[in-house]
Amino acid sequence: MKAVFTIIFLGTPDFAVPTLQALIQNGYPVPLVVTQPDRPKGRGRKTVAPPVKTKALELGLKVLQPSTLKGEKFSVQIRQLQPDFLVVVAFGHILSENILQLPKLGTINIHASLLPKYRGPAPVQWAIINGESQTGITTMLMDKGVDTGDILLTQKEPIFAEDNAATLHDRLALSGAKLLIKTLEGFASETIKPIPQDHRRATYAPLLKKQDGYIRWHEPADKLAAFIRGMTPWPGAFTFHDQNRLKILKAAAIPQRTTEAAGTVLKAFPDELHVATARGVLSILEIQGPSGKRLSIADFLRGYPLPAGTLLS
């Protein structure tokens, strides 16, 4: 009979939902789910519950939404439940050492990279932006550092040519859920051996902000295509025509020489938009313009023509 650990789950966004579901489906007691407070979202600023809260309530689980983890109140609540593990998946709060030490066996984190590469808050996006051919999931024991704890298990995941941050995110979320269950089974069978990270090989994936999506046309076309995939759907890759912001949702690099300045619209078929870069040509396939609608480039150009020689900036 397998050991069934009592787990307190800490997570907030969609990425964490499959892991919470997997714990319940595999019979692990989860007496408490901790997530971020409800927050206003969208143009109407309507208050919205985090995806983890929505799923936890659907599963009949108790939910706690502290605005801060400082002070004794939160620690007392956790200690009273006597968990074997805390499981943390994209929670959004930094956990102090005293919280990490509350569970009997440790605090497990699921991170969307093959640590020590891409520590930090945006590993999925940066792996694509940097042209990696693979990434993965790591389960680790959390310590006071940022993604610096001992590695428990890893699972590789290929990055396909058509992947953007959304498609890769969704696959990694499912992989993370499966890997956590394997990790808990490893603890039960005493086959898990934590391995310290080689900090010399560490790289960092910093948080992305909206302005980071600005397209710099002096980069090569293949790098820009990867950049756009990594920035989609958030924060979104964009350029400007006159005062209009054009959000580029899908593009492909073409190994074609041009003598035009980077950012110049090139002569092409009426339903194509080709732009000169530092090396090669970028073919824009999907775009969102002033109308706010996501359009194929053919549909977009029918209402917003960009003749050859137009400069995007």
Residue entry with tokens 């269950």? 181
Helix (H) or strand (E) holding 79: helix 72-81
Residue of 2, 5, 3 lying closest to 23 (CA atoms): 5
Residue type, 92: G
Q: What is the arithmetic mean of pLDDT over 188-193?
A: 95
Is the Cα dihedral 115, 120, 124, 130 positive or negative? negative
Q: How far is CA 82 from CA 5, 30, 52, 61, 77, in A?
A: 11, 11, 22, 17, 9
The pTM is what?
A: 0.95
Q: Across residues 164-186, what is the average pLDDT?
A: 98
Instruction: Report the C-alpha gap between 76 and 86 in whole angstroms.
Output: 14
Task: Write the DSSP symbol of residue 204.
Answer: B
Residue 2 confidence (pLDDT): 62
Q: Give pLDDT, residue 79.
A: 95
Tokens of 32: 């408490």
Banded pLDDT at 43 (limits 50, 70, 90): confident
Average pLDDT over residues 134-156: 97
Q: What is the pLDDT of residue 71?
A: 83
DSSP helix/strand/coil, 5: coil
**H helices of 144-194, where?**
165-188
| Structural domains of the chain in order of their starting residue, each with its CATH number | 7-201 (3.40.50.170), 211-303 (3.10.25.10)
Cis peptide before 37 (omega within 30 of 0): no
Tell me the sheet residues that pair with 154: 138
Least confident of 55-59, 131-135, 228-232, 255-259: 255-259
Query: What is the per-residue pLDDT across 237-276, written as a single tens digit (0 to 9) for each?
Result: 999 999 999 999 999 999 999 999 999 999 999 999 999 9
Output 193 or 41, whichever has higher pLDDT.
Answer: 193
Predicted pLDDT of residue 42: 77
Residue 182 has pLDDT above 80, yes or no: yes
Cβ atoms of residues 234 and 207 within 8 Å: no
- CB distance 105 to 85 below 8 Å: yes
Rounded Cα–Cα distance for residues 269 and 8 (Å): 58
Please tell me the distance from the alpha carbon of residue 182 to that of residue 176, in angstroms, as a whole number.
10
**Is residue 1's pLDDT more than 60?**
no
Round to whole Å and give the CA distance between 214 and 68. Answer: 34
CA distance 91 to 273: 41
